Chains A and B, each alone.
Chain A
Amino acid sequence: GQNIDQPTEMTATEGAIVQINCTYQTSGFNGLFWYQQHAGEAPTFLSYNVLDGLEEKGRFSSFLSRSKGYSYLLLKELQMKDSASYLCAVRGRAGTALIFGKGTTLSVSS
């Protein structure tokens, strides 16, 4: 089976840095993905990690430790528009579909 855990909610202020954690237990591992989803909209792809370490993409970075079954998404210089759900998704075996966690709802206030 597969299990993906994320905090349900987080809050932060504009300009701050926030780290959203994700832990997973899967049969096989072929990549971890982060998506952003605004209310009522589709998930949009943010980042992808398949090897250990940090991937940086502008204000967003994602980290992976395969031995710990752990990832985080780091958002810097937060803006109001970053208020959304952040979804952690894992591909277990190569060629299989992404399985999503429940998502973390981030609220950014001024």
Chain B
Amino acid sequence: EPEVTQTPSHQVTQMGQEVILRCVPISNHLYFYWYRQILGQKVEFLVSFYNNEISEKSEIFDDQFSVERPDGSNFTLKIRSTKLEDSAMYFCASSGTPNTEAFFGQGTRLTVV
């Protein structure tokens, strides 16, 4: 069964460092998303991406965040100058059309120390 894959599963970084979280969406999907979930809290939308550009972003997705589709399979989230409060599980998701369900990857647990 096709699935969204994310690497790494766990990343520890020092405050102020840059991190890149990687995702391989389901191969025939065109709509990509990043969400985050701080421990014990709800799943929060960060950004959606279609046709090589951001289609929607939340107020959380400020200038320290960026997304990129560097090739035909990968979709990345970059966090510049990480802060302690960026510690969370980051989920990548993809969908085949803009109005159907999104399928989630297993997440990257980011710990900023």
Q: Using a CB-CB cutoff of 8 Å, which residues 89-110 of chain A contact chain B? A: 89, 91, 94-103
Known A45-B101, A94-B99; judge A100-B106 contact (CB<8 A). no
Q: Judge whether B44 and A43 touch: CB under 8 Å.
A: no
Cβ of A101: which chain B residues have Cβ within 8 Å of it? 42
Known A30-B99, A95-B98, A97-B33; judge A103-B42 contact (CB<8 A). yes
1/0 per position for A43-69, CB-CB distance to B under 8 A? 111001000000000000000000000
Q: Please report the C-alpha to C-alpha distance between residue A94 and residue B55 in the assembled complex, in whole angstroms.
A: 12
Whether a CB of chain A sits under 8 angstroms from the CB of B75 is no
Total residue contacts A-B, CB cutoff 8 A: 50
Cβ of B42: which chain A residues have Cβ within 8 Å of it? 87, 100-103
Shortest distance from the beta carbon of B105 to any chain A beta carbon, whole Å: 6
Q: Which of A43, A91, A94, A96 meets B43, CB within 8 Å?
A: A43
Whether a CB of chain B sits under 8 angstroms from the CB of A33 is yes
> Interface on A for B, CB 8 Å cutoff?
30-31, 33, 37, 41-45, 48, 87, 89, 91, 94-103
> Interface on B for A, CB 8 Å cutoff?
33, 35, 41-45, 48, 55-56, 91, 98-107
9 closest Cβ pairs, A-B complex: A95-B98, A42-B104, A100-B43, A102-B42, A45-B101, A97-B48, A97-B45, A43-B104, A42-B106
7 contacts between A and B (CB under 8 A): A45-B103, A48-B101, A87-B42, A87-B43, A95-B55, A95-B98, A100-B42
Known: A41-B107, A42-B105, A94-B98. 11 other contacts (CB 8 A): A30-B99, A33-B101, A42-B104, A43-B43, A43-B91, A43-B104, A87-B42, A95-B98, A97-B56, A100-B35, A102-B42
